Every structure is written in C-alpha cells, then in structure tokens.
Amino acid sequence: MVLPENIAEVMGGTAVLGHSIHSIGDLEGTISRGLPRRALRHTVERVYPAAGEARRIIFRVVPEATFKRRTRLSPAESERTERLARVIAAAEHAWNNRTDAREWLTRPHPELGGRTPLDSAMTELGARRAEELLERLFYGIA
C-alpha cells in the first residue's frame, strides 16, 4: 500500500500543498478543500517532463480554459489529480526507480486493454486495475 505521504510528495509535497500530509484523513481534507493547480502540473510533469505531453494530460483532468483561469482545483478535479498521483506513487514504489516507473506508466499494457496505466488511471476503476497490476508485479504474482 502506498503511504499518503508518498502520494502528497508526487503532488509537490509541503511546498505545493502548503502543509504536511501524515494520514489519509489529512489527504482527504486537502482534496476536499481543492488542491492548488500546481499540484496537478507537478503530478503530471513527474511522468511527462515535456510540456506538450504534460499539457495533454492536464487538460484531460481540467479543461484548458478552466485550468488557466483558476488557481485552485475543484474537489472533483482534485480527486482526479490525487488518483493520478496515487498510481504514480504506486508505480514508483513497485519499481523502486522513477525512470522504470515512468516507462511502465506510459506504455500500453495488455492487461489494461492495451491502454497505458496512466490512461487507465483517468477513471477510478481503471486506477484500481493499474494498482492491482502493480501489486501483482511487486509481489511476483503472475
């Protein structure tokens, strides 16, 4: 299981979120108040350092005009951001290497219907499938 601190770190940690996350309750409260939009940018750039690809993912989470206009995400947009950060944190934990995790997150996988794990994470059920796959990889279960 990925710790809330790891999920928060993917979103930028204390520098972006404005406070430390120590529990699921802390994370839930932060999400329900709405994340700073920098948390989404930080999360996506963790996997896609190139600006064009990062923007494509950002604008799948929040429409472009909305993203440019606001400084904070809505609770629903914050939940989508946390979901992406959770899958990224789980991949980094399973692979124990950011580069390997990034490669896994961005390559189509047959057990995800040929979609990338990051694309799957755009929905809650898809994120669960990606996390389940990561657990199996981590524990060596076929």
Which pLDDT tens digit goes with each residue over 23-51?
Answer: 999 999 999 999 999 999 999 999 999 99
Q: How many domains does the chain have?
A: 1
The per-residue DSSP string of 49-99 comes to -SHHHHHHHHHHHS-HHHHHH-SB--HHHHHHHHHHHHHHHHHHHHHSSHH
Q: What is the pLDDT of residue 1?
A: 73
Give the model confidence (pLDDT) of 132-142 as tens digits: 999 999 998 86
Name residues whose C-beta falls within 8 Å of residue 75's C-beta, 6 or more positions apart in sequence: 31, 32, 33, 34
Domain with 125, as residue range(s), is: 4-139
Residue 83 CA to residue 7 CA, distance in Å, equals 9
111-137: average pLDDT: 97
Give the model confidence (pLDDT) of 62-115 as tens digits: 999 999 999 999 999 999 999 999 999 999 999 999 999 999 999 999 999 999
Residue 56 CA to residue 64 CA, distance in Å, equals 9
Q: What is the pLDDT of residue 142?
A: 65
Which structure tokens are listed for 90?
A: 């789980």
Q: What is the pLDDT of residue 10?
A: 98
Residue 36 CA to residue 22 CA, distance in Å, equals 18
